[in-house]
Amino acid sequence: MEKPPSSILILGHGVFGLSTALSLSLRPSFKHTKITLLDRSPFPSPDGSSIDTSRIIRSDYSDPAYAKMGAEAMETWRSSSSSSTQQAGVAKVLAGLGEEGRYTESGLVLVCDKGKQGEEYVRGSFENMIEMGSEKQKVKELKDRREIDKEMGTGGGNGDWGYINTSSGWADAEAGMRFLRKKVEALNRVTFLQGEAVSLLYSPSTSNKKKKIAGVKLSTGQEITSDLTILATGAWTGTLIDLRGRATATGQVLCYLPLTPTEQQSFSRAPVLLNMSTGMFIIPPSPDPSKPSLKIARHGYGYSNPLSLPNPSSPAQKISISTPRTTRDDPTLQVPLEGQLACRAALREMIPSLAERPFTASKICWYTDTPKGEFLITYHPQMEGVFLATGGSGHGYKFLPVIGERVVDVLEGRGKGVEEFGGKWGWPSEVVEDVVTEDGSRGGRPGMVLERELRRKEGTRAETTVIVRRKR
Ligand SMILES: Cc1cc2nc3c(=O)[nH]c(=O)nc-3n(C[C@H](O)[C@H](O)[C@H](O)COP(=O)(O)OP(=O)(O)OC[C@H]3O[C@@H](n4cnc5c(N)ncnc54)[C@H](O)[C@@H]3O)c2cc1C
């Protein structure tokens, strides 16, 4: 970046957009830049991926670069507000992030089914954690299902090999985002606007070779101009620029069930359990009596929701774009039977005493998936004035304290964001036929289409066999 832009418009107040806003507000190079943050929803977005009861916070990655960035983020998740005097920059502003129940270091039991996909990921992650040393990562191998069950303390478990990392845990996702938002507001550098961007705004000086973008057009017809537009629009990004073959929206399943006060207190002491072979996971409940529910979910290939929409780069042409479908669009939307059966089967194994407890709520939450699960943090190579900060691929939330810093590094062309992730987060020069994330951590079936699954009224034989077999 030769000269900082005089104005930056960030689209999206999820974790990517808000943390970028925080870093821009604090970096001296942007002190004269006008920063605007626009979102289609009031904060917190009812259907944003960054808003939920909980998110896993871990540095347990098979890729050392993400493991290292995760460990850095966790220092801030664990920091106390009184430590702010020893901190600087973003870490100082966010000191105390994990307090008041926003982060719980419950431990994480990371497991796989031996010989299946996911094993390589878990073994790689275990090695990385050992390498980081016992000062930072407190890990213990769990050699078989018996050891896993014992560590869980819920009367059940999952997988047949793995480890526990007692230095990992989970965050109250919405509370963490509210904390971040307050900190950004307090700096008084960002103008917050509500409105839905429907297209990018082409500058009159645009050419066919490199289009010049001057801001966005809203659904109201209003135009907002800016020198640089940052797309942090999560799973909706494909409706604003053509991401075919590079990133796609996939719907993931979450089911919630109520707990009695005794169950809540007991299970709140359990670790998070994540099976990288099936993608199934449970996050323990908060001990807060006002939040007596347990979440069970799948980190999977997800559902696509292909719609025929105008190509954002050439609107006369219609293309197929997988686009989030949420309760904001359809208040009756529920997780398809296939997803509920998968959650039910996992629950029976993980916490047998809750095996038949009905789910009282379910939700489809949308990942912005890339082929290898890498984030997409880069200038758009063919559009001047556009930068992407997205591609969370189902693992972006935990980086809340550090992702904005990395985004702004890439924007400025220097720092850790470039040195550690330069080769990973760029605009992929090659496109794939269909984006299916193969980062070694996904469960479920690839290729499921949401509409088709919603129409199914019965489970397949395979699904029901699993349930019947485990019931015995
Ligand atoms: C079910 C589920 C479980 C997950 N579990 C974990 C986990 O355990 N640990 C972890 O680290 N990560 C996890 N993740 C991933 C993490 O939550 C995401 O990577 C991250 O929240 C993505 O943030 P974002 O800012 O890209 O998107 P979002 O939070 O979705 O924000 C995008 C924003 O853009 C706005 N927007 C969209 N289109 C427009 C438009 N046209 N105009 C204006 N505004 C617009 C939306 O309203 C929204 O507020 C999970 C994700 C899901 C869905």
Q: How far apart are CA 160 and CA 111, in angstroms?
A: 7
Query: Which atom from ligand 1 is nearest to the alpha carbon of 233?
Result: 34
* Strand ranges (E), 352-438: 361-369, 376-379, 383-384, 386-390
Using most ligand atoms within 8 A of CB, pick from 47, 233, 255 the residue to mutate for ligand 1: 233
Domains and CATH numbers, the chain: 7-419 (3.50.50.60)
Q: From the CA of 396, how far away is ligand 1's center (Å)? A: 8
Q: From the CA of 47, how far away is ligand 1's center (Å)? A: 8
Query: Which atom from ligand 1 is nearest to the alpha carbon of 196?
Result: 42
Q: From the CA of 305, how far away is ligand 1's center (Å)? A: 16
Q: Are 248 and 223 in contact (CB under 8 A)?
A: no
Pairing label, strands 161-165, 169-171: unpaired
Query: Which atom from ligand 1 is nearest to the alpha carbon of 216?
Result: 42
Using most ligand atoms within 8 A of CB, pick from 52, 66, 386, 397 the residue to mutate for ligand 1: 397
Residue closest via CA to ligand 1's atom 31 equals: 14
pLDDT at res. 1: 78
Using most ligand atoms within 8 A of CB, pick from 10, 49, 103 the residue to mutate for ligand 1: 49
* Strand ranges (E), 391-465: 448-449
Q: From the CA of 367, how far away is ligand 1's center (Å)? A: 7
Give the binding-site residues of ligand 1, using a 6 Å CB cut-off. 11-17, 38-41, 45, 48-50, 55-56, 196-197, 232-234, 236, 252, 254, 297, 365-368, 390, 392, 394-398
What does the pLDDT look like over 39-71, one tens digit per residue? 999 999 999 999 999 999 999 999 999 999 999
Q: From the CA of 258, how far away is ligand 1's center (Å)? A: 25
Q: Are 228 and 9 in contact (CB under 8 A)?
A: yes
Residue closest via CA to ligand 1's atom 37 equals: 233
Q: From the CA of 91, how far away is ligand 1's center (Å)? A: 22
What does the pLDDT look like over 381-438, one tens digit per residue? 999 999 999 999 999 999 999 999 999 999 999 999 999 998 899 999 888 888 999 9
Q: Are 303 and 290 in contact (CB under 8 A)?
A: no
Single out the residue of 52, 44, 13, 48 nearest to residue 362, CA to CA: 52
Q: Could you state, in chain order, the average pLDDT of each consecutive group of 10 residues for the chain (472 residues)? A: 93 98 97 98 97 97 96 97 87 97 98 96 96 89 98 97 98 98 98 98 77 96 98 98 97 98 97 97 96 97 97 93 95 96 98 97 97 97 96 98 98 95 92 89 91 85 49 39
Residue closest via CA to ligand 1's atom 21 equals: 50
Helix (H, G, I), strand (E, B) or coil at 162: strand
Residue closest via CA to ligand 1's atom 44 equals: 39
pLDDT at res. 444: 84
pLDDT at res. 461: 56
Q: From the CA of 324, how far away is ligand 1's center (Å)? A: 11
Q: Which residues pair with 161 in a beta bridge?
A: 112
Half-sphere exposure of 100 (CA within 13 A, CB side): 10
Single out the residue of 177, 234, 231, 171 nearest to residue 51, CA to CA: 177
Q: From the CA of 177, how far away is ligand 1's center (Å)? A: 11
Distances (CA, A) of 417 to 33, 55, 80, 180, 306: 21, 23, 26, 20, 32
pLDDT at res. 463: 58
Residue closest via CA to ligand 1's atom 51 equals: 394
pLDDT at res. 13: 98
Q: From the CA of 233, how far away is ligand 1's center (Å)? A: 8
Q: From the CA of 368, how far away is ligand 1's center (Å)? A: 8
